[in-house]
Each structure stands twice: as structure tokens, then as C-alpha cells.
Amino acid sequence: MSQETPQKFLKKVTVISTFGGLLFGYDTGVINGALVYMARPDQLNLSPFTEGLVASGLLFGAAIGSFTGGRFADAKGRRKMLLFLAALFFVAAIGCSLSPTAEILIGFRFLLGLAVGGASVTVPSYLAEMSPAERRGRMVTQNELMIVSGQLLAFCLNAFLGSTFGSTAHIWRYMLALASLPAVVLWFGMLAMPESPRWLVLNGQIGEALKVLRRAREENRAIAELNEIQDNLAQEASIQKATYKDLTVPWVRRIVFIAMGVAICQQISGVNSIMYYGTQILMKAGFSTEAALIGNIANGVISVGATIFGMWMMTRHGRRPLIMTGQIGTMACLCLIGLISNLFDGAAFLPYLVLCMTVTFLFFQQGFLSPVTWLLLSELFPQRMRGMGMGCAVLCLWITNFLIGLWFPVLLSKFGLSATFFMFAGIGLIGLLFVFKFVPETRGRSLEQIEHDFRHHGENA
């Protein structure tokens, strides 16, 4: 057996599995620049509504992929699910790049969305189950870092290809095809990774689970954690196999309610209107196409920097104050975007003000709101139904994402930049009130302790 330390092993696990997050980020971010080129009359000749379908086709697929992917991961294992998703990412990315019509492109974007949705559920679950309690926050939010890194990579490649080969008719096809490369890395990398120890225990493979824990923990801690997992599963003996009916048990129903609310709150901030349509927003404010593509790099850079900052903050502060800070900050930025767009309409400096506000918005979103959301979703559900429960929660996230992605171009066209962002700010206030009233603090507690807290609350409700 290799002499690598548990820390090195966990780092390897994190880097390889979060290539699923990188693919998630690239495939959602690349449309930001590619849409401008594929919409041209000599290409796919897209209308505003068809643009929404191309962008949101992935999101609708992601809603279904998150819902079914969690169940598949529970049945077959996190590792097998990630191997399957890597192959689907590859096939769908090549299919998108070769699509001759908008209809075929939307179909392959839907398949790509199935992979994105599956990854959005499976990667955080895998990381949460591989990590010790004190490192769980950092390991799970590493996936969020890879998501925004994938978006930054997409923005940079879009800007480079657009500035260098913008006159090439099919430049958008190259933008989409590049997503196939990280899929290859994910597939080969996961071949060398083990299955989650909690999933192995759940399926009776105690010896294999102990081997994995000994690679990921110190010896005495590995045995103690194995015993804790087994004890926790013994307490759940009444649920021999998780079904959707189990989600209606009162204490579990409370978890489902909170998780779905947290997932929706992350999306109603309007973050993905910027991540998917940032080029159009900046062009609407006054930038040229090439300048807007380059401006989007600033959005990508701040997203990566803010996520790193958020990972640092989560080691020092609880989940609740961080997520509420993110919501307050994003609402303030949305109001300012709406205000300056109204007051300075037509001014030469308006696009730069809008860019500054989108950058500040993303600092609060990616530094506070988004990382905590994914971490909470990976922590809240009990082991037997973690994949299924996360699938339900992330389904809500992707449906909200889909609706925003589909209708944002229509809102922007009908109501303008100012009114559209005022709407998002108003909806965000509802999310802040939800978190304040319902979301519990989970920092510093093991997954088994979190489950015990919910069970105890249910018994005394």
C-alpha cells in the first residue's frame, strides 16, 4: 500500500472529483460568449426566446439529472455515478459543437444538463462522505471553487477566441467542443478513486469501508468513525431502503423543506442571469461585443477570488451569518444596478459602472451565498437518503435556474435593465427572511450529530 498521508490522499480525492465541478462551471459559463455568435443570421439565427431555450435547455436537463442522479448514486455508488457522468459530459459536449440546427443543439444541451445536474448532486455528496468533520467545509466548497474556475476558464477562452477568431463563422463550435477535455480527465481520474466509505458500509462492505477510512484518516480515528457510521445506520434500521415516501416522515420533511428553500434562495438572487447573459447585459449597458467578452473575465476572476475568500471565512464563521451576509450584499448590488441604469441611461461611463456592480454582486454571491448553499445541502440529509434528498433539493435549484435562464432575455427586452434587476432584488428579500427563520447552524457538527439534532427536533415538535 502507498505510504501517502491521509492529507495527501484527501487532496487527491478532492482535485479529481471536483473536475465534475469544473465541467459544471465550463458548460454553464461557455454559453455566455458562444450565444452571441451562434445567434447570428449566418449561423443558427436565434430569436430572443430561442436564445433562452438554448441557454436553459441545459438547466432543464440539470433539473432532471439532479433528481435522478442522486437516486442512481445511492443505488450504484458515488464513484460509478461520476464515471458515467464523465462519459456523458464528453458525448454531449461533442454533440453540441457539431449541431447543425438550433433544435439539435437544444437536445444536446439537455443531455449536457443531465450530466451537470448529476454532478451538482454527486460531487458534494462524495466529498462530504470522504471528508472528516473538521475538513468537510473546505473540501465540499472546493467543488464550488472548481465551478467558478470552470466559468472563468470559459470566459477567458471565449474572450480569446472571440478577439482572435471572431470573424470565423463557426467560432462558437470550438468554444463548446473544449468542454470535452476535462471530461476525459474526470473519467480516468475516477478510475483510481475509491468508493465513499459511508456508501460501502450502507451496502455491507465493511472491510472495504475500513480500508478507505484508513487511507483518509489516522488509524485510531478510522476505526472510531467506522463504528459511528455503523451505529448511525443501526438507528435507521426502520428504513431498510430509502424511498420517496420516507421524505414525508415529519423530521425528514423539515429537512426537505429547509434544503429546498436554501436551494431556491441561491438562485433567486439572479446570479445566473449574470453568468449566462453577462455578455448581453454589458452590451445592453453600452459595451461592444469584444469588450463585453473581455469584461466578463472580471466577473470570472472575482468569482474565483471570492470563493477562495468564502472558503477561508467558513473556517471562522457559521453557515447562517455567511449566507445572510451574501443575501444582503447581492440585494444591495441589484438595487444599485437598477438605480444607475435608470439614472445614467446613455452615459458613456454606464457600462463601466454596471461592470463594477456585477463584480461586487459576484463577490457577495460566490464568497458567501453559493459555497454555503452547496455545503448545507451536502450536510442536511441523513445517510440513507442523502443522494435522494439532495436530488429533490437540487431539482428545485435547477428548476428555479431554468425559469430564470429561460425568461431573463424576455424580461430584459420587455422591461429593460433597471426594472429587471429591481425585480430580482425584491424577490431576494423573501430568501433572506426564509434563511433567518428556518435554516439551522451546522458548523462543527458531524453528519451524524446533525441528523440527531433533526430527529430530536422532530420528537419535540
Which grid cell sits at 317? 464563521
Of 125, 145, 139, 128, nearest to 25 by C-alpha is: 145
Of 315, 311, 310, 320, nearest to 368 by C-alpha is: 310
pTM: 0.78
Which grid cell sits at 261? 428553500
Q: What is the CA radius of gyration of the chain?
A: 22
**Residues 83-87: contacts with CB under 8 Å, at least 24 apart:** 83/187, 83/190, 83/191, 84/118, 85/20, 85/115, 85/118, 85/119, 85/122, 85/186, 86/19, 86/20, 86/183, 86/184, 86/186, 86/187, 86/190, 87/183, 87/187
Amino acid in the structure at residue 251? W
pLDDT value at residue 241: 56
Answer yes or no: CATH 1.20.1250.20 is held by domain 8-193+236-459.
Answer: yes
Q: For each of the chain's 461 residues, which pLDDT tens digit applies?
A: 446 788 888 899 999 999 999 998 999 899 988 998 998 988 998 888 898 999 899 989 988 988 788 888 888 899 999 999 999 999 999 999 999 999 999 999 999 999 998 998 899 889 988 888 777 777 887 887 898 899 999 999 999 998 888 777 789 999 999 999 999 999 999 999 999 888 898 888 888 988 888 888 877 788 888 888 888 777 765 555 556 677 678 888 888 899 999 999 989 888 878 888 888 888 888 898 889 999 989 989 998 999 889 888 888 888 899 999 999 999 999 999 999 988 998 888 999 999 999 999 999 998 999 888 878 887 888 877 776 787 788 788 888 988 888 888 888 888 888 898 899 999 999 999 999 999 988 887 877 788 888 887 745 44
Q: Where are the domains of the chain?
A: 8-193+236-459
Give CA–CA dist 317/319, Å, rounded.
7
3-state secondary structure of 101: coil
pLDDT value at residue 458: 47
Number of H helices, E strands in the chain: 20, 0
Which burial class, exposed, middle or buried, applies to 425 when counting CB atoms under 10 A from its CB (0-12, 13-18, 19+)?
buried
